[in-house]
Amino acid sequence: MPVYKAPLENIRFVLHEVLGVEALSALPGYAEATPDLIDQIIEEGAKICEEVLFPLNQSGDKEGCHAENGVVRTPKGFKDAYDTFTQGGWCGLSADPNYGGAGMPMLVNTVMQEMICAANMAFGMYPGLSQGAYEAIHLYGDEAQKSLYLPKLVSGVWSGTMNLTEPHCGTDLGLIRTKVEEHPDKDGSWAISGQKIFISAGEHDLTENIVHLVLARLPGAPAGVKGISLFIVPKFLPKEEGGDWTPGARNKLQCASIEHKMGIKASSTCVMVYEGAKGWLLGEAHKGLRAMFTMMNAARLGVAMQGLGVAEVAYQNALAYAKERLQMRALDGPKFPDKEADPIIVHPDVRRMLLRSKAFIEGSRALSFWVGMNQDIAHRAEDESSRQAADDLVALLTPIIKAYQTDMGFETASEAMQVLGGAGYIWEYGVEQYARDARIAMIYEGTNGIQALDLVGRKMGQSFGRLLRRFFHPVQEFIEAEQNNPAMGEFIFPLAKAVAKLQQVTATIAQKGLKDPVEAGAASSDYLRQFALVALGFMWAKMAKVSLEKMEVGGGKKDFYESKLATARFFFERMLPETEARFRMVMAGAKPLMELAAEGF
pLDDT digits (tens, 9 = 90+) for 403-430: 999 999 999 999 999 999 999 999 999 9
Residues 601, 587: Cα–Cα separation, whole Å: 24
Contact assessment for residue 35 and residue 16, using Cβ atoms and an 8 Å cutoff: yes
Contact assessment for residue 231 and residue 246, using Cβ atoms and an 8 Å cutoff: no
Max Cα separation, the chain?
83
Q: What is the pLDDT of residues 128-153, one digit of tens each?
A: 999 999 999 999 999 999 999 999 99
pLDDT score recorded for residue 514: 86
CATH number at residue 28: 1.10.540.10
DSSP letter at 167? T
Q: Please indicate, yes or no, whether residues 97 and 156 belong to a single structural domain of this protein.
A: no
Q: Please indicate, yes or no, whether residues 33 and 123 belong to a single structural domain of this protein.
A: yes
pLDDT score recorded for residue 526: 98
Q: Residue-wise over 381-403: b if at least 16 C-beta within 10 A, else e?
A: beeeeebebbbbbbbbbbbbbbb
CA atoms within 13 A on the CB side of 473: 10
For the chain, first and last CA: distance in Å? Answer: 45
DSSP string, 174-238: GG---EEEE-TT-SS-EEEEEEEEEEETSS-SSSSEEEEEEEEB-TTPPSGGGG-EEEEEESEEE
pTM beyond 0.95 = yes
DSSP letter at 62? H
Residues 237, 222: Cα–Cα separation, whole Å: 29
17 assigned to some structural domain: yes
Q: Please indicate, yes or no, whether residues 175 and 118 belong to a single structural domain of this protein.
A: no
Q: What is the pLDDT of residues 478-513, one digit of tens each?
A: 999 999 999 999 999 999 999 999 999 999 999 998
Q: Please indicate, yes or no, whether residues 178 and 105 belong to a single structural domain of this protein.
A: no
The bridge status of strand 71-73 relative to strand 66-68 is antiparallel
pLDDT band at residue 296 under the 50/70/90 scheme: confident
C-alpha distance from residue 110 to each of 126, 307, 372 (Å): 16, 13, 6
56 assigned to some structural domain: yes
DSSP letter at 565? H
Contact assessment for residue 468 and residue 396, using Cβ atoms and an 8 Å cutoff: yes
* pLDDT score of 587 more than 80: yes
* pLDDT score of 294 more than 90: no
pLDDT score recorded for residue 572: 98
DSSP string, 516-547: -HHHHHHHHHHHHHHHHHHHHHHHHHHHHHHH
* pLDDT score of 70 more than 90: no
Mention every residue, 6+ apart, whose C-beta is less than 8 A from residue 423: 321, 429, 431
497 assigned to some structural domain: yes
Q: What angle do CA 514, 516, 520 make, to 5 degrees?
A: 80
Q: What angle do CA 444, 446, 452 make, to 5 degrees?
A: 130
Residues 262, 271: Cα–Cα separation, whole Å: 17
Q: What angle do CA 168, 173, 176 make, to 5 degrees?
A: 55
* pLDDT score of 317 more than 80: yes
Q: What is the pLDDT of residues 367-393, one digit of tens each?
A: 999 999 999 999 999 999 999 999 999
Mention every residue, 6+ apart, whose C-beta is less than 8 A from residue 333: none
54 assigned to some structural domain: yes
**Rounded CA Rg of the chain:** 25
pLDDT score recorded for residue 167: 93
The bridge status of strand 229-234 relative to strand 269-281 is antiparallel
pLDDT score recorded for residue 174: 79
Q: Fill in the amino acid letter for 446.
A: G
pLDDT score recorded for residue 384: 96
DSSP letter at 23? G
Q: Fill in the amino acid letter for 460.
A: M
CA atoms within 13 A on the CB side of 205: 16
φ/ψ of residue 221, rounded to 5: -65, 150
Mention every residue, 6+ apart, whose C-beta is less than 8 A from residue 585: 526
Mention every residue, 6+ apart, whose C-beta is less than 8 A from residue 208: 157, 158, 236, 246, 247
Number of domains in the chain: 3
* pLDDT score of 126 more than 90: yes
* pLDDT score of 173 more than 90: no
504 assigned to some structural domain: yes
Q: Residue-wise over 567-593: b if at least 16 C-beta within 10 A, else e?
A: bbbbbbeebbeebeebbebbeebbeee
DSSP letter at 339? S
Q: Please indicate, yes or no, whether residues 228 and 205 belong to a single structural domain of this protein.
A: yes
* pLDDT mean over 562-577: 98
Q: Please indicate, yes or no, whether residues 471 and 575 belong to a single structural domain of this protein.
A: yes
Work out the burial of residue 16: count CB atoms within 10 Å of its CB; fewer than 13 is exposed, 13-18 middle, 19 or more buried.
middle
pLDDT band at residue 72 under the 50/70/90 scheme: very high
Q: Which domain holds residue 33?
A: 8-65+73-129
396 assigned to some structural domain: no
pLDDT score recorded for residue 54: 98
Low-confidence winner among 74-83, 168-177, 237-246, 335-344 (lowest mean pLDDT)? 168-177
C-alpha distance from residue 420 to each of 54, 309, 407 (Å): 20, 19, 20
pLDDT score recorded for residue 290: 85
Q: Please indicate, yes or no, whether residues 148 and 118 belong to a single structural domain of this protein.
A: no
CA atoms within 13 A on the CB side of 51: 8
Q: What CA dihedral angle connects 457, 376, 97 and 34, to 10 degrees?
A: 160
Question: What's the length of the chain?
Answer: 601
C-alpha distance from residue 528 to each of 311, 346, 451, 502, 585 (Å): 20, 34, 8, 10, 12
Residues 245, 519: Cα–Cα separation, whole Å: 54
pLDDT score recorded for residue 193: 97
Residues 511, 218: Cα–Cα separation, whole Å: 40
Q: Please indicate, yes or no, whether residues 281 and 163 belong to a single structural domain of this protein.
A: yes
337 assigned to some structural domain: no
Q: What is the pLDDT of residues 188-245, one digit of tens each?
A: 999 999 999 999 999 999 999 999 999 999 999 998 889 999 999 999 999 998 889 9
Query: Which of 287, 303, 329 is the C-terminal boundary of a domain?
Result: 287
Whole-number percent of the chain with pLDDT over 90:
93
The bridge status of strand 209-216 relative to strand 158-163 is parallel
* pLDDT score of 598 more than 80: yes
* pLDDT mean over 294-306: 89
pLDDT score recorded for residue 298: 84
Q: Please indicate, yes or no, whether residues 482 and 530 belong to a single structural domain of this protein.
A: yes
- Asked whether the CA dihedral 285, 286, 292, 293 is positive or negative, the reply is negative
pLDDT band at residue 600 under the 50/70/90 scheme: very high
CA atoms within 13 A on the CB side of 457: 15
Q: What is the pLDDT of residues 7-18, one digit of tens each?
A: 999 999 999 999
Q: Give catalytic residue positions.
A: 445
φ/ψ of residue 271, rounded to 5: -95, 115
CATH number at residue 207: 2.40.110.20
Q: Please indicate, yes or no, whether residues 115 and 198 belong to a single structural domain of this protein.
A: no
Give the H or E element holding residue 271. strand 269-281
Query: Which of 229, 254, 287 is the C-terminal boundary of a domain?
Result: 287
Residue 469 or residue 223, greater confidence? 469
Work out the burial of residue 448: count CB atoms within 10 Å of its CB; fewer than 13 is exposed, 13-18 middle, 19 or more buried.
buried
* pLDDT score of 295 more than 80: no
281 assigned to some structural domain: yes
Query: Which of 287, 308, 340 is the C-terminal boundary of a domain?
Result: 287
Q: Please indicate, yes or no, whether residues 521 and 588 belong to a single structural domain of this protein.
A: yes
Q: Please indicate, yes or no, whether residues 161 and 280 belong to a single structural domain of this protein.
A: yes
Q: What is the pLDDT of residues 20-38, one digit of tens each?
A: 999 999 999 999 999 999 9
Average predicted confidence (pLDDT) for the chain: 96
